[in-house]
Amino acid sequence: MTQPRKRVAVLISGRGSNMMSLVEAARAPDYPAEIVCVISNRPEAPGLAWAAAQGIATVAIDHKAYATRVAFEAKLHTAILDARGELVCMAGFLRMLTGGFIDRWRDRLVNIHPSLLPSFPGLDTHARALDEGVKIVGCTVHLVRLEMDTGPIIAQAAVPVLPEDTPETLGSRVLKAEHRLYPHALKLFASGQARVVGETIQILQSVNQDTALFSPSF
């Protein structure tokens, strides 16, 4: 018997390019998740219009209209439940979440970060990576915990640093990897191939390649 697709709410604050990549992936009939709602804390977010044009339900919840984070998150929680969301994917959602919300959605709240965590958590990841002189960077899809940019890692992608890179060029190349990684990670997680075991993710079948990425190459 075919398993029902997981119902996913996506949280954005801007253009939502990672949200778009998830929507495009979910068009495949065998993809194990469907995007049922896109929610933004910024009513002017361009991603809302894009999602609406795809026939996806959208909700704008202006965080400025709420006196506290808890009040904002109560509305956010209700919106997800109204859409019958089972998983929540943060895709450029620029709000820190409280422990109460994170606990409510524990092991169902997914985020993508533009570094190879645990390296370079927080902001300005690409500038910091260049300052440190690292030769390989990347992106990480992980479950959310209270501490910023922590939590069980579902999947990662590596990107070489080029000699002429600026934070902007490096960020653009990492973003392209994000657009491939996020749908892949959600597919693994929604299908049950990636499962939470303690504070790590167990992959139930071999999905890794054994080739190494070298930077500089030779």
Confirm if 44 and 24 have CB atoms less than 8 A apart.
Answer: no
- For β-strands 109-113 and 136-143, DSSP reports them as antiparallel
Q: Which distant-in-sequence residues (6+ apart) come within 8 Å of 125 by Cβ? A: 113, 114, 115, 137
User: Residue 182: how many CB atoms within 10 A of its CB?
Assistant: 27
**Max Cα–Cα distance, the chain, nearest Å:** 56
Q: Is 113 a catalytic residue?
A: yes
- 3-class secondary structure, 77: helix
Domains along the sequence of the chain with CATH? 1-105 (3.40.50.170), 112-205 (3.40.50.170)
C-alpha to C-alpha distance for 133 and 141, rounded to whole angstroms? 23
Q: What is the b/e burial string over 40-63, where b = at least 16 CB atoms within 10 angstroms of the residue's CB?
A: bbbeebebbebbeeeebebbebeb
pLDDT tens for the chain, 218 residues: list them: 468 999 999 999 999 999 999 999 999 999 999 999 999 999 999 999 999 999 999 999 999 999 999 999 999 999 999 999 999 999 999 999 999 999 999 999 999 999 999 999 999 999 999 999 999 999 999 999 999 999 999 999 999 999 999 999 999 999 999 999 999 999 999 999 999 999 999 998 776 777 777 877 77
Q: Which of 61, 43, 167, 63 is nearest to 114 (CA)?
A: 167
Q: What dihedral do alpha carbons 171, 173, 174, 180 form, nearest 10°?
A: 140
Q: What's the pLDDT score for residue 201? A: 95
Strands, E assignment, the chain: 6-12, 33-40, 57-60, 87-90, 109-113, 136-143, 153-160, 194-197, 200-203
Write down the catalytic residue from 63, 113, 179, 184: 113
